[in-house]
Amino acid sequence: MSERLGAAILGTGDVSGEHIRAYQRNPYTEVRAILSRSRERAEAKAREYGLTNCRAYTDLDALLADPDIHLVSICTPHHLHVEQGVACAQAGKHVLIEKPIAIELEGLRRLDRAIREYNVRSVVSFVLRWNPLFQVIRSILSQGLLGDLYYGEVDYLHGITKQYSVYPWMSRREYGGTALLAAGCHAVDALRWFVQREAVEVFGYANFSRGNPLEYEYEPNSVILIRFEDGVMGKVATSIEYMAPYTFPIVLMGNRGVIRDNRLFTHAWPGQTGWATIPTILPDSGAVTHHPFQAEIDHFVDCVRNGVESHCNVADAVKTHEICLAGEISKQEGRPVKLPLA
C-alpha cells in the first residue's frame, strides 16, 4: 500500500491532540477530518496542528461517508464510544478507541459484535502496553526470571480533580461509569498483560472518602481481587481522588523472583544480594504528553496496513472491561462474580 491512509479524529479535547500528533509523525497517515460539536472548534484544532488537508465535521455520518477516511480515533467521552465505534465499523473504517470502550455490558457486547461482523481492525487505547517499563517486564517474564507467577498487583492512583478537562462529565455516573472503568482499567489491563492468563473470578469493594471532596457521583476509590486461571491471584486498587502525585505501582511475585516497578530480584542470578534497578521510563505521569501514543498509533497503522489483528483489539479489551464490570457487580451484590460475565 503506497497511498497514505486518511485519519479522522472524533473530539477536540485533551487526548485528541496526542492522536493528531502521532498520525502526523507516522509516514503512512494524514489527518483529514476532525469531528466536533462545533465546526469552529474543529477548525481551530486543525489550525493549531497545522493540518492543511483537514475537513471539519459536526455530523459523524457525513464524516464516515468520506471515502478518503480509512482510520478513526475515537477521543470523545466514554458514553459515546459504543455508538461511534459501531458506526465506524458499519462504515468499514478501522478504529482506535479510547478507553473505556463501554461503560455497560450490553454496549460492550454490541461493539465487539460490530467489529467482528464488519471485519475492521481495532486497537483499544491501553497505551501503557507501549510504555518502556512494560516492555522490560514482559521481557523479564519471557526469560523466566520470575519463574511461575503466583501473585500480581497493579494500582491506578491519580487524583482526577476539578482542574482536569474530563472532570465535568467524567465525575457523573452516566458519562464516567465507575472509577475502575474510567481510569483503573489501565491497571486491570496491565495486570492481564503481565499475568497472561484468563481471569475467572472477581471480588470488589468501593468507597467515598469522608466528605467526598471531589464530589464524584460514584465511589472514586475501589479495590478488586482477581482470581486467574491456575489460581494466580491479583489485586487492583484505584483511587481517582488520590491526594498525592500520580502513582502506578506494579508488583509481580513468582517462585523464582519478584518485580517491584523497575526493580528486580531473581534467584536466576546466584550471588545477587539486593534489588537490581533497571533504568527505563516508568508509567509515572498522568499527563497525556508522557504516554507513548506514537508507538500505539504506529502499531494501529501497521495492523491496518498488514491486515493483522492487534494484541490490544476490542476482543481482547472486552476481557479487561468484564473484570471492571464484575468488580462493580461484586461491590453491589457483596459476592464474588464469575467470569466471563453471562
List contacts with ligand NAP (CB under 6 A): 11-16, 36-38, 41, 75-78, 80, 98-99, 125, 127, 165-166, 169, 288, 291
Burial zone of 250 (CB within 10 Å; 0-12 exposed, 13-18 middle, 19+ buried): buried
CB-wise, 168 or 340, nearer to ligand NAP?
168
CB-wise, 80 or 315, nearer to ligand NAP?
80
Distance of closest approach, residue 3 Cβ to ligand NAP, in angstroms:
28
CB-wise, 108 or 145, nearer to ligand NAP?
108
Query: Which cell numbers hold the place of 295?
Result: 508507538
Distance of closest approach, residue 223 Cβ to ligand NAP, in angstroms:
21
Q: Which residue is nearest to ligand NAP (CB)?
A: 13
**Residue in the structure block whose three cell numbers are 455490558:** 105
CB-wise, 149 or 180, nearer to ligand NAP?
180
Distance of closest approach, residue 37 Cβ to ligand NAP, in angstroms:
4
CB-wise, 38 or 272, nearer to ligand NAP?
38
In whole angstroms, give the CA distance from residue 155 to residue 249.
6
Distance of closest approach, residue 42 Cβ to ligand NAP, in angstroms:
6
CB-wise, 24 or 233, nearer to ligand NAP?
24
Query: Which cell numbers hold the place of 161?
Result: 480533580
Query: Which cell numbers hold the place of 336?
Result: 464474588
3-state secondary structure of 247: strand
CB-wise, 253 or 297, nearer to ligand NAP?
297
CA distances for 313 relative to 80, 96, 123, 253, 304, angstroms = 18, 9, 4, 27, 12
Range 328-335, long-range pairs (CB < 8 A, 24+ positions): 328/178, 328/180, 328/181, 328/204, 328/206, 330/202, 330/203, 330/204, 330/224, 331/204, 331/205, 331/206, 331/219, 331/222, 335/203
Distance of closest approach, residue 98 Cβ to ligand NAP, in angstroms:
3
Those residues whose C-beta lies under 8 Å from the C-beta of residue 119, and which sit 6 or more positions away, are: none
Distance of closest approach, residue 186 Cβ to ligand NAP, in angstroms:
7
Distance of closest approach, residue 169 Cβ to ligand NAP, in angstroms:
5
3-state secondary structure of 177: coil
